[in-house]
């Protein structure tokens, strides 16, 4: 594995850092408090190609590789995990899945618009009774002459109330279990498609989450993504990309909390010297740094495998598990190190702590990641 970044990677990171500093960070706290979905930021981000980092330049992406994507998501995650969440769903779960599984017509129709930020994508797999147990899909797609009629509900869909295009999974043949699940591409303005924003979230408050209800939504065969019955495999392949983006964003959150803590510890005086001179504070910073750097290595390892196009579910789950749990631990230590001030929105660390809590739950909980890792190590499935 190559540890040095190329000149192009440095450039990608610098551009992402400048964008995040100039356009994302200034409104991150306000958008969080007021629950404002950052449409303006996305409008500015679209033309840069950074909304879909690995898509080719010809169709509006940035044309970088997965290390480049990790660098962008790290920089954006440092500034605002809500924006990074929106991008993870848009790029990793929606656009990249269309790139991998779509027909030429679907790619031509959707990818340039997704890449340029002209439309926003979301991903609807979870249901009220199908979270970790994702094979238990209840939303039904029934065949009717030459089209499909979809009815049922989806839960906890990131960007569900804001997106224009929904990659949605439905049961087309309940007798076949997960082999009866099929993926559909559905414009959210299709009659019968309803989204209701969830309120009262602890964190990621600028990244709106919605519950969806589909009432006899009519969908054509052209809107199938992949073949009938291939949906679960498509969902799992999408999550290999999604979990990677989450891990990279959480690396950014941990890095932000570490940097904020170092700055605070150097500045703040206690017992006649800077906090940074106290042994227990140095111990906290050392723990934060080691955990953060371990996340970085795991994210880069997963990126390296993705660049080679080889299976990476095991390494991606390790990166997701470690980086999300680390973001929580490091943000928690950062709040502690900042003392009472860290418990207010005067500093960004409390926002990072609230935001990080969601990342150990969405796109597969930490417990699910451990069971995927355990299955890889033992050959035994705890899900069977």
Q: Which residues are catalytic?
A: 363
In angstroms, what is the minimal distance from the CB of 232 to ligand COS?
5
**84 Cβ neighbours under 8 A, 6+ residues apart:** 73, 76, 77, 245, 249, 252
In angstroms, what is the minimal distance from the CB of 281 to ligand COS?
37
**Strand ranges, E, within 118-208:** 121-124, 140-144, 147-158, 165-171, 181-187, 193-197
In angstroms, what is the minimal distance from the CB of 149 to ligand COS?
24
**Contact predicate 183/230, CB 8 Å:** yes
d(CA 11, CA 61): 16
Q: Report the residue number, 46 or 364, with the smaller CB distance to ligand COS.
A: 364
Q: Distance from first CA to last CA of the chain, Å, rounded?
A: 35
**360 Cβ neighbours under 8 A, 6+ residues apart:** 324, 325, 328, 366
Q: Report the residue number, 89 or 333, with the smaller CB distance to ligand COS.
A: 89
3 state SS of 212: strand
Q: Report the residue number, 20 or 302, with the smaller CB distance to ligand COS.
A: 302
CA-CA-CA-CA dihedral for 294, 77, 126, 113, to nearest 10: -130
Site residues, ligand COS (CB under 6 A)? 125-126, 132, 134-135, 178, 232-233, 236-237, 239-240, 313, 362-364, 368, 372, 381, 383
Q: Report the residue number, 92 or 255, with the smaller CB distance to ligand COS.
A: 92
Phi, psi (rounded to 5 degrees) for 195: -125, 135
Helix 313-338 × helix 366-378 angle, to 10° = 140
Cα dihedral sign, 372-156-203-16: positive
Q: Report the residue number, 147 or 179, with the smaller CB distance to ligand COS.
A: 179
In angstroms, what is the minimal distance from the CB of 336 to ligand COS?
29
Q: Report the residue number, 69 or 363, with the smaller CB distance to ligand COS.
A: 363
Q: Report the residue number, 156 or 264, with the smaller CB distance to ligand COS.
A: 156
d(CA 384, CA 380): 9
**DSSP H or E stretch at residue 211:** strand 209-220
Cα dihedral sign, 325-326-331-337: positive
In angstroms, what is the minimal distance from the CB of 68 to ligand COS?
22
In angstroms, what is the minimal distance from the CB of 204 to ligand COS?
12
**132 Cβ neighbours under 8 A, 6+ residues apart:** 364, 365, 367, 368
Q: Which of 173, 179, 170 is nearest to 151 (CA)?
A: 170
In angstroms, what is the minimal distance from the CB of 13 to ligand COS?
27
3-state secondary structure 278-310: CHHHHHHHHHHHHHHHHHHHHHHHHHHHHHHCC
In angstroms, what is the minimal distance from the CB of 208 to ligand COS?
14
Q: Report the residue number, 19 or 123, with the smaller CB distance to ligand COS.
A: 123
**309 Cβ neighbours under 8 A, 6+ residues apart:** none
d(CA 114, CA 119): 5
Residue showing tokens 């690995």: 54
């Amino acid at each position: 594995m190559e540890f040095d970044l190329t000149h192009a990677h440095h450039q990608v990171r610098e551009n992402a850092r400048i964008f995040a500093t100039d356009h994302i960070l200034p409104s991150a706290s306000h958008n969080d408090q007021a629950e404002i979905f950052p449409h303006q930021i996305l409008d500015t981000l679209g033309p840069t190609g950074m909304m879909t980092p690995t898509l080719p330049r010809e169709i509006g992406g940035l044309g970088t590789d997965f290390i480049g994507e990790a660098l962008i998501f790290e920089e954006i995650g440092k500034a605002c995990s809500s924006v990074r969440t929106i991008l993870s769903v848009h790029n990793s779960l929606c656009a990249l899945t269309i790139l991998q599984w779509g027909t030429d017509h679907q790619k031509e129709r959707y990818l340039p618009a997704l890449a340029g930020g002209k439309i926003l994508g979301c991903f609807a797999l979870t249901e009220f009774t199908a979270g970790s147990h994702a094979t238990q899909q209840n939303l039904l797609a029934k065949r009717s002459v030459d089209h499909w009629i979809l009815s049922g509900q989806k839960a906890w869909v990131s960007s569900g109330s804001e997106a224009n295009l929904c990659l949605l999974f439905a049961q087309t043949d309940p007798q076949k279990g997960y082999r009866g699940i099929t993926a559909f591409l559905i414009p959210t303005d299709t009659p019968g498609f309803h989204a209701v924003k969830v309120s009262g979230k602890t964190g990621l408050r600028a990244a709106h989450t919605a519950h969806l209800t589909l009432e006899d939504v009519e969908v054509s065969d052209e809107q199938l993504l992949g073949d009938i019955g291939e949906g679960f495999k498509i969902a799992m392949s999408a999550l290999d990309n999604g979990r990677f983006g989450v891990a990279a964003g959480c690396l950014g959150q941990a890095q932000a909390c570490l940097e904020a803590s170092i700055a605070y510890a150097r500045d703040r005086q206690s017992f006649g010297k800077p906090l940074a001179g106290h042994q227990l504070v140095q111990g906290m910073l050392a723990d934060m740094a080691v955990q953060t750097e371990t996340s970085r290595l795991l994210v880069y390892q997963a990126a390296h495998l993705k660049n080679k196009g080889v299976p990476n579910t095991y390494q991606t789950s390790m990166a997701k598990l470690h980086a999300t749990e680390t973001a929580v631990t490091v943000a928690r230590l950062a709040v502690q190190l900042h003392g009472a001030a860290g418990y207010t929105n005067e500093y960004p660390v409390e926002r990072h702590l609230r935001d990080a809590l969601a990342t150990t739950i969405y796109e597969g909980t930490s417990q699910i990641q451990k069971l995927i890792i355990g299955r890889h190590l033992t050959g035994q499935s705890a899900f069977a």
